[in-house]
Amino acid sequence: MNKEQLIKVWKMFAEKNNFQLNPDNSMVDMVADGVLNNEKKHGMKLCPCRLRDGTRERDLELLCPCNFKTHKTWEEKGMCHCGLFVKKE
């Protein structure tokens, strides 16, 4: 999957779940690059903004998109940890 395809999937995911991608395209591009680099390096599309400990169980929690709606940042700031997904305005 290339970056454009990944971003398209993220947009569909966001629309289906009533939130949106960050309107800052440079932020979306940066996260996409990080996710794709993690996929090359670790074999999984891991969030580039969170540290892995190398265990499969923990790494699975970091797959992008993660379960960000359960995190404090979603409730307090209206965005996922890395700022990729944001609440609709």
If pLDDT is split at 50, 70 and 90, which confidence band does 65 have?
A: confident
Q: How large is the average pLDDT for residues 3-10?
A: 96
Distance, CA of 66 to chain centre: 6
Please give the CATH topology (third level) of the domain spanning 16-87.
Answer: Ferredoxin Thioredoxin Reductase (3.90.460)
Greater confidence (50 vs 16) lies with: 16
Read off the pLDDT of residues 23-34 as tens digits, 9 standing for 90 and up. Answer: 999 999 999 999
- Contact assessment for residue 49 and residue 82, using Cβ atoms and an 8 Å cutoff: yes
